Chains A and B, each alone.
Chain A
Amino acid sequence: MATGTAVAPRPAQRLSRVLQPTVVVYLALVLLLVAGSILVGVRGGVLLDQGGILNILTRSTALGLVAIGQTMVILTGKLDLSVAYLIGLCSLIGAETMAGDPGMIVPAVLLTLACAAGVGLVNGLVITKLKVNAFIATLGTALIIRGYLESAYSGPAGEVPRAFQHLGYARIGPIPVSALLMVALAALAWWYLMRTKGGYHVYAVGGDEEVARFSGIRTDRTIIKVHVLCAVAAGLAGLFLASRLGSGAPWVGVDAGYDLESIAAVVLGGTLLAGGRGGVAGTIGGVLILATLDTIFDDLGVTPFFKDVVRGAVLIVAVALYARRRGALR
């Protein structure tokens, strides 16, 4: 829907623009934490005690990992609907390769990430070389992976050694190590997007693919790269979930709806679905908001169905507010 005026602005100007929704997201998060603390407090509980913080951060980790990758893909104006099935696949590859043997951890992790990267490469190639719309391409990949999972697995498989389970459960004070790793990855992605040439290309391709190509950017390469990165991020999420569960589970990603959920988190974080604007910082805010909402509802004992209703409403309202703000800026 962007008009011709949306050609990449100067970096400084862009930074100030990008910052705005990000600030809004974190303000909303703080408000939500305050309101949640009061609501939970009224019922005699404490939202942000050690257990509460642990709960919010643990919930955020898997979704956060996926959403970081999804952010990069969405910034180029594409989508990745294959992540949910890919997470299940990766948890299985990881757990089956390890098979309870601590010595196999490193090879298993490398193999899993290589497989994930392969899937991302296929996505990227189908989108750029076969010129298939990203929605269809990744939906197709998702269905293919699902077909494989359905025919090859009937339940959890593989076994994760104890040492690897520490990754999912170890913590420093109330903060899980895995959440720290997720934040570190987010920082890395932020650095890549904001400080490197490749990152600038991502924004340029999302702003207008045609203009980017005419400006001498290899748009195909950029698009393939973000899809590979997104798939690797999903692979990491799969490994994390395998370490939490102790084995690989084919439907772990689908049951949690990580495909649509991650897109929701990215958009909630202020990234434009059409691409070109937004960033990882906002996405992490969006993920934290979703996780906090879940935790508050759990503490209040609300039925899970009501959660979905609120989540849907929050998503629509947030994006409507961003759209309004952008309309006013113009």
Chain B
Amino acid sequence: MTETLPATGKTRRIRLADGTGPVLAVLAVLLVALAFAGPAYSEPAGYLALLKRAAPLMILAIGQYFVIVSGGFDLSVGSLVTAEVVIAARLIDGDEGATVWVIPLLLATGALVGLVNGLITTRLLVPSFIVTLGMLLVLDGAVFLWTGGSPRGALSEAFRVVGREGFEVPLLGAVPWSVLLLAALVVAAVVFMRGGTGRTLVAIGDNETSVLLGGGRVERLRTLAFVLSGVSAAIAAILLGGFAGVSAQVGDGLEFRVITAVVLGGVVLGGGRGSVVAAMAGALTLEALFSLLNLLGVAGGLESAVQGVIIIAAVAYASVGRIPFRTRRST
């Protein structure tokens, strides 16, 4: 595991041909186009800013990838992000000293929500789409019940450092902390997916019964995927809270955006195929696309239309001309 990241992406692509190649190609085209469209992208700082903006979505994509590749959905991440930001603001309330215990609490909350999602999905046999949809409603309602309709309190400066500040590196300039965190998580995710647990997770998405017959701990691993997704939402919330501040709309629509990103990365809904690096590349591609549309002065309305066309096109490109060896269900 001493390879650098791009190299890992390459070996992955050779091994898992599906979908990874196209998304990297599209990403490369977009990055080059950005350099032509905006003067800010003529130096590393512009791309670092792009990475900083994309970091929360990319981290969410890692978590969502685990769930999707093992054959599930997690629709609760958007409302979980909102909930975490609102909880953090309420608990910290401008008190610098509180940051130290609030951050572990947020991570634990994310893990707990994931654990509940996972346990209901695996033990009570409720489709994950329904479980996480229910969780979305519960979280949305509960948070606003607790805060009485509008978020109160404020985040401490220390809390916002990760999402906002950076550190100086020669040649590159200011590297945001979130990019460093993102890099660490990418390495961790790649190492995890190359290990036995990660491979079994993909196998579960491909054929749950055979993994079960082969002695794999299907229920435990699927639960783990949801827990990781919950934790990723917590981390994304910490970054977003720092970056954008407290609002009740911070997580709106994130669940569909992150699923779009993961699918754009060639990960097949229903599980069993796709790589985690490609999922993140999908998230970065989506953010790069939005930045490009912004630079070109395309109105906000068209942005979502373009997003819609692109996900249909990406999935159609991946599936047409390939004979599906099995019918996939959308649950």
Q: Chain A residues with Cβ under 8 A from B324's Cβ?
A: 131
A320 touching B329 by the CB < 8 A rule? no
A316, closest chain B residue (CB): B134
Residue of A133, A136, A151 with most partner-chain B CB within 10 A: A136
B309 touching A144 by the CB < 8 A rule? yes
Determine if B135 is an interface residue (Cβ-Cβ < 8 Å). yes
Residue of B120, B136, B316 with most partner-chain A CB within 10 A: B316
Q: Chain A residues with Cβ under 8 A from B138's Cβ?
A: 308-309, 312-313
B315 touching A132 by the CB < 8 A rule? yes
B127 touching A274 by the CB < 8 A rule? yes
Q: Chain B residues with Cβ under 8 A from A291's Cβ?
A: none
Determine if B38 is an interface residue (Cβ-Cβ < 8 Å). no
Q: Chain A residues with Cβ under 8 A from B263's Cβ?
A: 133, 136
Q: Which of B140-148, B195-203, B224-232 contacts A (4 or more CB under 8 A)?
A: B140-148
B322, closest chain A residue (CB): A131
Determine if B1 is an interface residue (Cβ-Cβ < 8 Å). no
Ordered by A's residue number, 6 sampled pairs between the chains whose C-beta atoms are within 8 Å are A1-B208, A139-B259, A143-B305, A210-B326, A263-B133, A309-B137
Closest chain B CB from A258 CB (angstroms): 14
Closest chain A CB from B151 CB (angstroms): 13
Q: Chain B residues with Cβ under 8 A from A146's Cβ?
A: 301, 304-305, 308
Q: Which of A175-183, A195-203, A279-287, A299-307 contacts B (4 or more CB under 8 A)?
A: A299-307
Determine if A110 is an interface residue (Cβ-Cβ < 8 Å). no
Q: Chain B residues with Cβ under 8 A from A275's Cβ?
A: 329
Knowing that A151-B301, A264-B133, A305-B142 are A-B contacts, what are 18 other residue pairs whose CB atoms are under 8 Å apart, sorted by A's residue number?
A133-B315, A134-B330, A135-B259, A139-B311, A143-B308, A147-B301, A147-B302, A147-B306, A150-B299, A210-B326, A263-B133, A264-B130, A267-B130, A305-B141, A310-B141, A316-B124, A316-B130, A320-B120
- CA–CA, A136 and B267, complex, Å: 12
Q: Chain A residues with Cβ under 8 A from B11's Cβ?
A: none
Q: Chain A residues with Cβ under 8 A from B129's Cβ?
A: 263, 273
B319 touching A130 by the CB < 8 A rule? yes
Determine if A149 is an interface residue (Cβ-Cβ < 8 Å). yes
A150 touching B300 by the CB < 8 A rule? yes
Q: Chain A residues with Cβ under 8 A from B305's Cβ?
A: 143-144, 146-148, 151
Q: Chain A residues with Cβ under 8 A from B306's Cβ?
A: 147
Q: Chain A residues with Cβ under 8 A from B300's Cβ?
A: 150-151
Determine if B126 is an interface residue (Cβ-Cβ < 8 Å). yes
Determine if B64 is an interface residue (Cβ-Cβ < 8 Å). no
- CA–CA, A295 and B136, complex, Å: 22
Q: Chain A residues with Cβ under 8 A from B268's Cβ?
A: 133
Q: Chain B residues with Cβ under 8 A from A17's Cβ?
A: none
B142, closest chain A residue (CB): A309
A323 touching B330 by the CB < 8 A rule? no
A275, closest chain B residue (CB): B329
A312 touching B316 by the CB < 8 A rule? no
Report the interface size class on chain A. Answer: 35 or more
CB within 8 Å of A: which of B288-331? 299-309, 311-312, 315-316, 319-320, 324, 326-331
B299 touching A308 by the CB < 8 A rule? no
Closest chain B CB from A55 CB (angstroms): 21
- CA–CA, A77 and B270, complex, Å: 13
Closest 9 CB pairs of A and B: A147-B305, A151-B301, A143-B308, A308-B141, A312-B137, A150-B301, A312-B138, A309-B141, A140-B312
Which residues in B have some Cβ–Cβ distance to A below 8 Å? 75, 120, 124-127, 129-131, 133-138, 140-142, 144-145, 149, 208-209, 256, 259-260, 263, 268-270, 299-309, 311-312, 315-316, 319-320, 324, 326-331
Q: Chain B residues with Cβ under 8 A from A260's Cβ?
A: 75, 133, 136
Closest chain B CB from A283 CB (angstroms): 15
B123, closest chain A residue (CB): A320
- CA–CA, A233 and B240, complex, Å: 39
Closest chain A CB from B215 CB (angstroms): 19
CB within 8 Å of B: which of A111-138? 126, 130-137
B127 touching A319 by the CB < 8 A rule? yes
Q: Chain A residues with Cβ under 8 A from B134's Cβ?
A: 312-313, 315-316
Determine if A78 is an interface residue (Cβ-Cβ < 8 Å). yes
A79 touching B330 by the CB < 8 A rule? yes
B319 touching A131 by the CB < 8 A rule? yes
- CA–CA, A103 and B208, complex, Å: 59
B270 touching A133 by the CB < 8 A rule? yes
- CA–CA, A307 and B141, complex, Å: 7
Q: Name the contact of A320 in the complex, choosing from B126, B141, B209, B270 (C-beta under 8 A).
A: B126
Closest chain A CB from B128 CB (angstroms): 10
B330 touching A126 by the CB < 8 A rule? no
A274 touching B329 by the CB < 8 A rule? yes
A136, closest chain B residue (CB): B315
Q: Name the contact of B329 in the complex, choosing from A77, A309, A315 (C-beta under 8 A).
A: A77
A132 touching B316 by the CB < 8 A rule? yes
A133 touching B316 by the CB < 8 A rule? no
- CA–CA, A309 and B149, complex, Å: 14
B305, closest chain A residue (CB): A147
Determine if A61 is an interface residue (Cβ-Cβ < 8 Å). no
- CA–CA, A311 and B136, complex, Å: 10
A143 touching B307 by the CB < 8 A rule? yes
Residue of A311, A313, A316 with most partner-chain B CB within 10 A: A316
A316 touching B260 by the CB < 8 A rule? no
Residue of A151, A152, A311 with most partner-chain B CB within 10 A: A151
Q: Chain A residues with Cβ under 8 A from B135's Cβ?
A: 312, 316
